[in-house]
Amino acid sequence: MQNFIHPDMKDVTLDAVLYALADPARRAIVRALAADRACEGTGLSCNAAAPPDLPKATMSQHYAKLRAAGVVRATRKGVSVIHTLRCDEINAKFPGLLPAILGAVDV
């Protein structure tokens, strides 16, 4: 599985970010990571941030898409993979986007 590849911010497109955030499961993950950052800020394992009933293969694909889109960053820590939101970077490139999406009352 090797170490994770994260796109440089100059290669992160609005298209990919919106696509990544257009899925409710992925948005739930991003919300959890955002909440974690606001509190602990230590990052969360895949399982910790994903919706509880999500099959793990599906979960893993969602994380792969979030990483590829440049939305999250992953590092291995023991048997877990810890994810953090690339919050400041996204905010710098797409000002207001994350707040607008995370702030919305998701229906």
Partner DNA sequence: TTCGTTAATTCAATAAATCCGAACAATTGA
Partner DNA sequence: TCAATTGTTCGGATTTATTGAATTAACGAA
- The residue ranges that bind a second copy (CB under 8 A) are 12-15, 18-19, 21-24, 27, 93-97, 99-101, 103-104, 106-107
**Residues forming a β-bridge with 73:** 84
Helix axes 24-38, 14-21, angle to 10 degrees: 100
The reply to whether 76 sits near DNA by the rule CB under 7 A is yes
The reply to whether 68 sits near DNA by the rule CB under 7 A is no
The reply to whether 17 sits near DNA by the rule CB under 7 A is no
Residue 80 interacts with, from DNA, a second copy, none (CB under 5-8 Å by kind):
DNA
Among 16, 35, 48, 97, binds DNA (CB under 7 A): 48
Minimum CB separation of residue 92 from DNA in Å reads 25
Residue 57 interacts with, from a second copy, DNA, none (CB under 5-8 Å by kind):
DNA
Minimum CB separation of residue 71 from DNA in Å reads 14
d(CA 94, CA 89): 8
